[in-house]
Structure formats: C-alpha cells, structure tokens
Amino acid sequence: MTNRKILAEFPYELKPVEKGYNRRTLYINLSTKDIKSRPVSDLMIDKFVGGKGFDLYLMWHAVKDTTRWNDPENEICISFGPLCGNTNYPGSGKSIVTTISPLTDIPVDCNVGGHFGPYAKFSGWDAIEIQGKSDEEIIIYIDGDKGIVQILSAPDEEINSHILAEKLIAEFADNPNSYQYVSVVSSGKAADYVPISCLNFSFWDKRRKVARLKQAGRGGTGMVFRDKRIKALVVKYSGLKGDTNHPVDLETLQKTGLKVHKEIEELDDQQNRMRQVGTAHLVEIMNDYDLLPIKNFKYGQMEEAKGLASWEFKKLFTQGLPDGCWFGCSMSCCKAVDGFIPRTGPYKGQKVTVDGPEYETVGGCGSNLCIWNPRDVVELNFYCDTYGIDTISFGTSCAFAMECYEYGILNKERTGGLDLSWGNADSVFELIHQMGRGEGFGVIVGQGVHKMKEIFAREYGADPKLLQDIGMEAKGLEYSQYMSKESLAQQGGYTLALKGPQHDEAWLIFMDMVNNQIPTFEDKAEALHYFPMFRTWFGLQGLCKLPWNDIEPANNAETDEPAKVPEHVQNYVDIYTAITGKPLDKDELIRQSERVYNFQKVFCLRMGKGRRIDDIPPYRAVGPVTEEEYLSRQERYDKLLKEKQGIDPEGKSTQEKMALLRAYREDQYQQLVDAVYKRKGWTKEGIPTIEHLKSLGMDLPEVVEVVKRFL
C-alpha cells in the first residue's frame, strides 16, 4: 500500500447473506473514527424493506430538524436491498444513495449501478452509514474477503474519478487478474466547489480493461462526500457466485431471469435497441414528439437535433459488448465510447473511455444548449463524470445561464469574458473546467438554478418573476430533460416528485399527451399514485427500472394495462418471494412502497420542505413564457384556447392570449394537485393524514410527532 496510515480499523465476522439480507448495517463516523456494526431490526425489514427504505430510516435517526448538508451529523447512506446482487434477473445491481442535499436541504435519493453495491452487500452489510467529517483526506476500505473495514489516510492521489478509480482498483486488487473484484465510489474536483455534483460507482470492464463509471447523479451527493473529505470508498469481494444472495427458491429465480434474458435477446433489436445505443434511442423520439428540451426548455423540436440522434451515437459506441452495469444484466445499456480524445481541458489529447452519453446527458449537455456535435456531448459527459458533476443539473443550469445571456441579464463582463450564446460549446467547456478548478463564472453556474436566480436578481437587478418563470428548478433541484408543457400529468410527475423534479417517479407523457389514456384528473391522479409507488419499489430492492418497461413481452400490448407491463410486475413479485421467502402480491408491492414514500414525505416536511408551496413548477414547465415560444406553436395554443377554454383567439394580442392560457394552465395544475394529494391520502396542503399513516402501519411515534406540527 502506498503511503497510507491506518486511522481506524474494524474487524468483523464474515457471514453468508440469508434470503437477501445480512441483518446488520455498517456505521462509520469520520469525526470520531468510530466504526461499528448495527443490527437490523424486524421493524426495519417489515416497514422499510431495504435500499432507500433503510437509508431513510438510518438518516432520520441521525440528523436533526435543522441539519444542513454540511453539518457533521449529515450522513451519506448507501444501501442495497434484498434483491440486490442476484446475478439472475436483469438489472439487479443497484445501490441507493441518500443524503441531505446541498441543493434542496431535504433528503435526495439516487439509484446507481456499478459493482460497489452488490460487493458491499456480500461483504456483509445491508447498508453503509457515513457520518461526521474527517480532518484529513481519507479512503474507506471494506475488505469483504477478510472481514475488515478501515479508514485510511489518502494524502497523495488524484481526485478526478477516471484516474482515481483505476488507481485504487490497481492498489487494492490482489493482482492484475482480480481487478473485477474491486469497486470504487468517488467524486471529482468540481465537487469541492459546486453543489451540482455526483458520485461515481465503478465497475471493472474486463474486455476494455478500464474502470467504467456509473453516476449517483442527482442532488449533490458528491459535495457532501467531499465535504467529509472522503476521496473514495473501496470494496473488495471475490466470492461472487450464482447463488451468493442465498435465495430460498433458486429455481424460480433462475427461470424468471432466463425468461427475461430471452425476451431481450429476441425483442430488444425491434423494441428499444438498448443493447446498441442505451437510452440514447430516445433522442429522435423526443424530437419527433416535440419533447426534447431545446434552449432551456423553450422548444421541443429542431431540425438540428437530428445531429444528436441515436444513429450518430451508435457510430461512437463500441458495439457488441455485454455492457451491463452489474452481472446478469442482459439489457446491457451502459454504452461506452472507446479511445475518445478530448479536445479541451486537463486531459486534452489523452485517450479515454467515456461512459454514455445517456439520453439525459444528450438533452442536458446537447440539445438544451444547442450543442449539436455528438463529440462535444461525449466530451462534456466525460468531464462531468470525472469532475464529479451531474450531467442533468449541469445541462439545465448552463441552459438557464445561456437564456439569461440571451436576455442581457448576463453579459461578457458578468461572465468573466465568456460568450454564452446558444451553441457556443467552447464557452460551455470553459464553464466546466472552471468548475473543476473552482474559479470564475463556472462556480456561479455550478451553484444551480435556484442560487443563480437569487444572485442574478440581487447582483444584476434581473426581474425575479422572469427568473422564476424560466429557471427550471423546483425545491432547489434542476428539472431533468423532458418537456412537460403539453402534459399536465408529467408536470405533476416532475414537480410533485419528493426529492425534486426528476423523472424517476413518473414518466407519463405518452400515456397522457400522445395516447390520451388518462384524460380526467382522477385518471391522472391514479397514475401519479401508482407509478411513483411502483418505481419506488425498485429503490427498496436494489433494482434497475429499465428492464421493467424498456423491454416488453411480445404480447404486452394485448394485456389489460400495457403501461404497467403486467407480466413483468408478476416477475418482480415472483423473484421477491423466491429470494426472501416472504409472500407478496402486486398490491402488497405497492403498499411496501407507500410506507417508505410517506415516510420520505414526512422526512421532507421535517427538514422544511414538502408543503404545497414547494410543489409549484416554474411556468416554463407548464406553458409558453415568452411571446416567441407562444408564436412558435401558435396554431396549437390558439386551438387549445378555442377548444378547452371556449375563447375565440381572433383579434386578441399574443400577450392577451398568453395570459389567458397561463391562467387556465396554472388552474389546471392546481386541480391536478388537489386530485393527487387526495389519492395519496394527504390533506389539501400535502400532509399525510394520521389515518392514512395508520392504515399503512406507518404511524410510528416519531412520524406522527412531525406530521402533527403541520395538521
């Protein structure tokens, strides 16, 4: 080992996982250098299941009502869930990271691939809880082969992830043939300076012989990590087999997994081509449907966007490799660009392998900024990852700054000489490198949209109303990369999401806008109940969402509810029981999620958000803010005025029509919120009622105590 002091050491007994659980969690305090094992109670399993549920439970008991992201008691929790780590069912290797976010002040949760989660779980832990702050740079090392946890000094090495991950893998692996048994969690230089930061979870790619990086992207986890002076978490585990998760019914698990492997084998090339281009297949679809964000979500479609279509990325992605972020993921969506040579920044001219870009990155770092060259998007993706920046928040924040530049709120004087005109990739590169160096206007952009709004109003006298309308954030988190203007349900899907506007709770645009399957408020509310609950379940178990509906059985369209993919729902019920031995059906699955979802809601309230006023979208997410937006889709909006509002647009000025449309849409949104809260068992103010909590079995004293403050 190179130049490391052991600052603390904790030997523990190695025990096999039983039915998906270790029944203990790992607690590490970086201030006191205390490391301990904590038992997992029946209550935790019964009510919180695992994964995000365990994370939130542990964090709830660790923080105070007043805790902010950089307080020592704030935690980074990483948990895995009972289904995590099985190698049989596609998409079973996810970790869930939570912390009190520097962007939102409430808990944020990220679902991330890579080998760290399963290896840490099989090393003996159902969750890892990191509290306190170190006074020097450290690495936390879990040796799952020997049963030792160490806090090690880390004075020397690089911080940027693409270098650090490989260096640590080489250092901690037994020999060069066993790199695949080590995984690293790290962030990057920018996370020292900007909250729009992320964590990278590695997996060793045996074919490419590089460390691949998957991101826990949203909400600023990287900044909390670096604030604790953690350089990396490293795990080593060499014992993985086809039954390490010790399921009670291996046969069912294997057969169910095999069935989906075969579906993917037969149907993926005709369906979403995830194995060829990953989620980038969405770019052309979104552009066709006017849903791809362009110029800070002003427009959803542009001829130029074809330059970012998946066929362009397919030329860059190495084809034909099993690109799963965990073993057994035959969906293999983690595409990579090999031999990429950046044209800017500290790694200019060096050959690197870049993970992605995924759809969100193409939207954020490409179309939303009018950057149409796929290689520039790949390069921004590379630097975001290695610097520890979230590509989504980066994209939305840059787009906001560029729009402010367009309106003269910003100018070269204010940006330190940067011309932030749409499409100026060189300036965007400079912004990202400034974030990596912690200097210049890049650091302002890296504060995220919410802070920028405050700064631009205060320092530059910008109109706060305009900033509010075009600043694509809610609760402090930037919107991810879909246009929700024409889908009321998706406006709710985004803005009612507990952690802030991320599409992982609900993606209803096609159901709502394209197929008109959920016409009434009640229909939309039902969808905004069911899908967030169903998707929450993946986070409780350690699963990936993609193999649920990015591949569908051949006969799915003929089922009662194709949007739910009923056969796959049954698969999940079956593998849950096959692993844990506990009975489940599709209704109890939803109840498992509802318990944790409501707990998270109350947690948000406790930390100061989660009320109705926090669920308001910026108008850009709802309708046209500017005349040019209205006029660009005038036919659509005029028609809506006539058909939905019974108003004749003839003879009215654009401003008048915009005001009428706005009043209507904002009212519709409020009616939607009423319907959704009611469906979720919450008051009109968005507070879970005691009766509802009781009916879920979540009337825990600490929860009721918080709720009572708001009733």
Partner 1 sequence: MKKFLNTYDEDCIACHACETICARTYFKVDDLERSRIRIEEQEKSAHIVTCNQCETCVKVCPTLALTVNAQGVVLLNNRLCVGCYMCIAACPNESMFRYLGGIIPIKCIACGLCLDSCPTEAIRIEEKKENEK
List residues binding partner 1 (CB under 8 A). Answer: 87-88, 180, 206-207, 240-243, 250-251, 254, 257-258, 261-262, 264-265, 320-322, 324, 327-328, 330
Instruction: Say which entry of ligand SF4, partner 1, none residue 351 contacts (CB below 5 to 8 A, set by partner kind).
Output: none
Choice between 359 and 479, CB closer to ligand SF4: 359
CB of 328 to partner 1, least distance (A): 3
Instruction: Say which entry of ligand SF4, partner 1, none residue 462 contacts (CB below 5 to 8 A, set by partner kind).
Output: none
Choice between 544 and 698, CB closer to ligand SF4: 544
Contacting residues for 147 by C-beta, under 8 A, at least 6 apart? 11, 12, 13, 14, 123, 124
What is the Cα–Cα distance from 358 to 352, expressed in whole angstroms?
17
Contacting residues for 161 by C-beta, under 8 A, at least 6 apart? 186, 187, 188, 200, 202, 213, 385, 386, 387, 388
The CA-based angle 450-454-455, given to 5 degrees, is 115
Choice between 323 and 638, CB closer to partner 1: 323
Choice between 208 and 636, CB closer to partner 1: 208
CB of 53 to partner 1, least distance (A): 27
CA atoms within 13 A on the CB side of 272: 22
What Å distances lie between residue 462 and 298, 422, 473, 627, 655, CA to CA? 19, 20, 17, 19, 21
Choice between 324 and 610, CB closer to partner 1: 324
CB of 631 to partner 1, least distance (A): 52
Instruction: Say which entry of ligand SF4, partner 1, none residue 544 contacts (CB below 5 to 8 A, set by partner kind).
Output: ligand SF4
Instruction: Say which entry of ligand SF4, partner 1, none residue 243 contacts (CB below 5 to 8 A, set by partner kind).
Output: partner 1
What is the Cα–Cα distance from 287 to 282, expressed in whole angstroms?
8
Choice between 231 and 261, CB closer to partner 1: 261
CB of 547 to ligand SF4, least distance (A): 5
CB of 550 to ligand SF4, least distance (A): 7
CB of 179 to partner 1, least distance (A): 12
What is the Cα–Cα distance from 217 to 480, expressed in whole angstroms?
11
Beta bridge partners of 127: 79
What Å distances lie between residue 90 and 24, 204, 278, 324, 329, CA to CA? 26, 18, 14, 9, 4
Instruction: Say which entry of partner 1, ligand SF4, none residue 254 contacts (CB below 5 to 8 A, set by partner kind).
Output: partner 1
Question: What are the CB-based long-range contacts (under 8 Å, 24+) for 32-38?
Answer: 32/132, 33/7, 33/8, 33/151, 34/8, 35/8, 35/9, 35/10, 35/149, 35/151, 36/10, 37/10, 37/12, 38/129
Instruction: Say which entry of ligand SF4, partner 1, none residue 547 contacts (CB below 5 to 8 A, set by partner kind).
Output: ligand SF4
CB of 329 to ligand SF4, least distance (A): 3
Q: How far is CA 387 from the centre of its chain?
A: 17
Report the interhelical angle of 374-387 vs 391-406 (nearest 10°).
120
Instruction: Say which entry of ligand SF4, partner 1, none residue 6 contacts (CB below 5 to 8 A, set by partner kind).
Output: none
Task: Write out the two tokens for 309.
Answer: 């279509």
Of residues 582, 601, 476, the one with CA closest to residue 529:
601
Instruction: Say which entry of partner 1, ligand SF4, none residue 132 contacts (CB below 5 to 8 A, set by partner kind).
Output: none
Instruction: Say which entry of partner 1, ligand SF4, none residue 546 contacts (CB below 5 to 8 A, set by partner kind).
Output: ligand SF4
Choice between 64 and 207, CB closer to partner 1: 207
Instruction: Say which entry of partner 1, ligand SF4, none residue 91 contacts (CB below 5 to 8 A, set by partner kind).
Output: ligand SF4
CB of 124 to partner 1, least distance (A): 19
Instruction: Say which entry of partner 1, ligand SF4, none residue 88 contacts (CB below 5 to 8 A, set by partner kind).
Output: partner 1
Instruction: Say which entry of partner 1, ligand SF4, none residue 113 contacts (CB below 5 to 8 A, set by partner kind).
Output: ligand SF4
Beta carbons of 166 and 210 less than 8 angstroms apart: yes
Beta carbons of 221 and 230 less than 8 angstroms apart: no
Q: Give the single-character DSSP code of 176.
A: G
CB of 278 to ligand SF4, least distance (A): 7
What is the Cα–Cα distance from 446 to 389, expressed in whole angstroms?
9
Choice between 38 and 259, CB closer to partner 1: 259
CB of 253 to partner 1, least distance (A): 10
Task: Write out the two tokens for 201.
Answer: 């979870």
What is the Cα–Cα distance from 176 to 40, expressed in whole angstroms?
36
CB of 375 to partner 1, least distance (A): 27
Choice between 254 and 272, CB closer to partner 1: 254
Q: How far is CA 475 from the centre of its chain?
A: 15
Choice between 325 and 496, CB closer to ligand SF4: 325
CB of 180 to partner 1, least distance (A): 7
CB of 478 to ligand SF4, least distance (A): 21
Choice between 214 and 236, CB closer to ligand SF4: 214
Instruction: Say which entry of ligand SF4, partner 1, none residue 250 contacts (CB below 5 to 8 A, set by partner kind).
Output: partner 1
Beta bridge partners of 35: 28
Instruction: Say which entry of ligand SF4, partner 1, none residue 258 contacts (CB below 5 to 8 A, set by partner kind).
Output: partner 1
CB of 572 to ligand SF4, least distance (A): 14
Number of CB atoms found within 10 A of residue 412's CB? 11
Instruction: Say which entry of partner 1, ligand SF4, none residue 251 contacts (CB below 5 to 8 A, set by partner kind).
Output: partner 1
Of residues 125, 237, 121, 123, the one with CA closest to residue 178:
237
What is the Cα–Cα distance from 126 to 314, expressed in whole angstroms?
38
What is the Cα–Cα distance from 103 to 123, expressed in whole angstroms?
32
Instruction: Say which entry of partner 1, ligand SF4, none residue 262 contacts (CB below 5 to 8 A, set by partner kind).
Output: partner 1
What is the Cα–Cα distance from 6 to 438, expressed in whole angstroms?
30
Choice between 329 and 384, CB closer to partner 1: 329
Choice between 88 and 104, CB closer to partner 1: 88
Task: Write out the two tokens for 239.
Answer: 């014992």
CB of 260 to partner 1, least distance (A): 8
What is the Cα–Cα distance from 280 to 309, expressed in whole angstroms?
7
Choice between 243 and 526, CB closer to partner 1: 243
* Gyration radius of the chain over CA positions: 24
What is the Cα–Cα distance from 300 to 245, expressed in whole angstroms?
44
CB of 62 to ligand SF4, least distance (A): 29
Choice between 277 and 658, CB closer to ligand SF4: 277
Query: H helices within 185-249, ranges in order?
Result: 221-227
Collapsing DSSP to helix, strand or coil, 702 comes out as helix
Query: Which parts of this chain interact with ligand SF4 (CB under 6 A)?
Result: 90-91, 113, 324-326, 329, 331-334, 544, 546-547
Choice between 159 and 325, CB closer to partner 1: 325
